[in-house]
């Protein structure tokens, strides 16, 4: 069995962003040489997400509008911000959108359903953050 680990670095120019990381994950799989196995991708920060959905810009705006309605940004709105931070909303948005995905690798490729792609969701950006890619298989 092979195990292969890499970290992708993210640094979005906006506070909120959705970034398609499918190609980066595919190239890590190619480097690993794994043909049959599993690929875990997770955000390593508690204000960012990794999730699977459609690569469609309208849907991405819908996601951002939806999480903003559920957890609007606001310095005085969250008890977490009493610590001096301003990202209480980002922790909640991250929890809604998820921490990680696991995708099967079949014949050396991500074994997706129709239209599935892997996205990084940023809710407190403009700084460097990591995404873990862990591949196991043979
Ligand atoms: Zn915080």
Stretch 36-57: mean pLDDT, rounded? 98
Pairing of strands 2-10, 129-137: antiparallel
- Structural domain span for residue 29: 2-137
Query: Separation of 31 CA from ligand 1 center, angstroms?
Result: 35
Query: Per the confidence metrics, is the pTM higher than 0.85?
Result: yes
Average pLDDT over residues 39-45: 98
Owner of token pair 């509008």: 65
- Where residue 50 falls among pLDDT bands split at 50, 70, 90? very high
State in Å: Cα 6 to ligand 1 middle.
25
Q: Which CATH number fits the domain that encloses residue 34?
A: 2.60.120.460
Query: How many folded domains does the chain comprise?
Result: 1
CA of 79 to the centre of ligand 1 (A): 10
What's the burial of 67, exposed, middle or buried (CB within 10 Å: 0-12/13-18/19+)?
Answer: buried
């Amino acid at each position: 069995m092979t195990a292969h680990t890499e970290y992708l670095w993210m640094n979005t120019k906006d506070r909120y962003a959705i970034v398609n990381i499918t190609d980066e994950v595919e190239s890590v799989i190619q480097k690993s040489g794994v043909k049959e196995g599993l690929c875990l991708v997770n955000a390593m920060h508690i204000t960012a997400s990794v999730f699977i959905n459609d690569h469609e810009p309208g849907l991405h705006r819908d996601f951002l509008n939806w999480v903003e309605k559920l957890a609007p940004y606001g310095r005085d709105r969250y008890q977490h911000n009493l610590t001096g931070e301003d990202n209480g909303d980002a922790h909640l948005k991250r929890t809604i959108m998820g921490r990680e995905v696991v995708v099967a690798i079949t014949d050396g490729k991500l074994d997706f359903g129709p239209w599935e792609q892997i996205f990084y969701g940023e809710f407190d950006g403009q700084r460097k953050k990591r995404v873990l890619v862990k591949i196991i298989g043979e």
